[in-house]
Amino acid sequence: MLIWHSSLSANTQDIIYWMPYGLAAITAMLALQFNRRQLIAVVIVNTFSYWLIASYLQQPLSISEAKFAFTSVCLFIPINLVLNQFINENGSTTPRAIAIYVFLLVQMASISLALNFFVADTAEFITEWFEPRPREGLVMSLAALGLSVVCIVAAFFRWAYKSTSLTIGLFFSFVASLFPLMFLDREAISSVFFTASMLIMLYAGFRASHELAYRDELTGLLGRRMLFEKLAGMSKNYSLAMVDIDHFKKFNDTYGHDVGDDVLAMVASKLDQIEGGGQVFRYGGEEFTVLFKGKKLDHAIAFLDDIREIISETPFAIRDKTSRDKGDKTARNEEAKPKNTVQITVSIGVAEKANHHANAEEVIKDADNALYKAKNKGRNIVVG
C-alpha cells in the first residue's frame, strides 16, 4: 500500500479529492463552448463513476452495497465510453446528443435506485459473474476485465481508423478511467486517474478547437497558416508539392462558383487520401500543398502520381444549378440526378528541400516553378 497520500496535509488531500470534479466542470464548459457531445459524455461518465467510487467504495467490497456499486461502475465505464467513441460527433445539443444524455441519465438513475432498494436481489448474480479480486493485486473481476479489454481493443481500432486529436484523447482518457477499477484498493487511485482522464480530455478538447481555427471551412483541410507553422519547425529533409486544378477558371465560368466549390471539396477529399506520409493543406484558391516530412523527391513523386491518376479517373457529376439555388428538399432530390459528368485533372509541381534553400518560401517557389512546367507540358502531370 502506498503511503504518499496519507502523508500529505489535509488541505492537499482535499484538493486531490476535488480535482476531478473541478476539471469535469472546466471540460464541460469547454465542450459546450465548442459544441462537442463526445466530451460532455466523457464528463458525465467520469463524474458519476468517480462519485460512485467516492461514496460507496470506501468500505470493504464484501459488503453487498459496495460490491454492487463496484460491478456497476465496471460495466458503466467501458460500455458507455466505447459507445461514445463509435457514435460520430455531430454537436452537443442535437437530438442525437440529447438521446445519449438521456440514455446515460437512465443508467445512472437505475444504478442509484438499485443501490438504495434492490441490492440484495442482485447480489447473487454479481457473486456468480463479477466476483472481485480474482487475482492477487487485481480488484476487477475477470468478466469485467474481459469486457474492458474488448472495449479497449475496439476503441483502439476506432482511433486507428479515424485519428484526430479527439479520438486519441478519447482512447487514452478511457484507458485512464479503467485503472482505478483494476487497482481500486491503492490509496487515492481514483482521484489520480480520474484527474488524469479529465486532463487528457481537456487537452484533446483544446487541441481539437485549436486545429479548428487552422482548418479551411470549404474543404476541411488544414490551411496555409498551419502549413507555415509546420514548415517553420522543419529545417531539412522534406519534399513539398504544389497542386493546382486545371482550367478551373473556365470551369467556374461555365458551371458557376457553387459547382466550382464542389469540385474543390472533391479534389481536397481525394488528395487527403494520399499515402506515403503526405499531409495536405489548402494553400489558397484552387491550389493545394502536400508536405512529405523526411521524404525524398522520388518517394513524393510516386505517391503524388497515384493520387493525380485517381483524381483524373473520378468522374465529377454536374448537378442542375437552378434547382440547387432553390435550396428546398424536393428540389435537392430532383437535382440529385446528375445531368452530366466531367473530368477533373490536376497538375503538380514538386521540390525537395536542399542546402541552397535558405527557407521554406524558396522550396515553395521551386515547387511553383515545377508546377508552371507541368502546366506548360499539357497539364494532368507531375513534374519534379
Ligand X SMILES: Nc1nc2c(ncn2[C@@H]2O[C@H](COP(=O)(O)OP(=O)(O)OP(=O)(O)O)[C@@H](O)[C@H]2O)c(=O)[nH]1
Handedness of CA 53, 55, 57, 58 (dihedral sign): positive
Residue 210: count of CB within 10 angstroms of its CB? 11
Choose between 333 and 376: whose C-beta lies nearer to ligand X.
376
Provide the minimum distance between the beta carbon of 351 and ligand X in the complex, in angstroms, as a whole number. Answer: 18
- In the complex, least distance from residue 381 CB atom to ligand X, rounded to whole angstroms: 12
| Helical packing angle, 189-214 and 165-182, nearest 10° | 180
Evaluate whether 132 touches 61 at the Cβ level (below 8 Å).
yes
Active site residue 124: no
Contacts of residue 370, defined as CB under 8 A and 6 or more positions apart, other chains included, come to: 242, 349, 350, 351, 383, 384
When CB distances to ligand X are compared, the closest residue is 260
Least Å from the CB of residue 368 to ligand X: 12
CB-nearer residue toward ligand X: 20 or 260:
260
Beta strand residue intervals within the chain, DSSP E = 238-245, 278-284, 287-293, 315-318, 340-343, 346-352, 382-383
Contact 245, 264 (CB under 8 A): yes
Closer to ligand X by CB, 247 or 293: give it.
Answer: 247
Q: Smaller CB distance to ligand X: residue 130 or 251?
A: 251
Asked whether the beta carbons of 303 and 275 are under 8 A apart, the reply is yes
Q: For residues 187 and 261, which CB has a smaller minimum distance to ligand X in the complex?
A: 261
Integer-rounded Cα radius of gyration of the chain:
27
- What is the side-by-side order of every strand in the sheet holding 287-293? 278-284, 287-293, 238-245, 346-352, 382-383
Distance separating alpha carbons of residues 318 and 316, to the nearest angstrom = 6
Residues interacting with ligand X, by CB under 6 A?
Answer: 244-250, 252, 257, 260-261, 264, 285-286, 375, 379
* Active-site annotation holder among 275, 286, 335, 362: 286
* Closest distance of CB 178 from ligand X, Å: 46
37 vs 74: CA distance, rounded Å: 23
Smallest separation (angstroms) from ligand X to the CB of 343: 13
Give the residue numbers marked as catalytic.
286
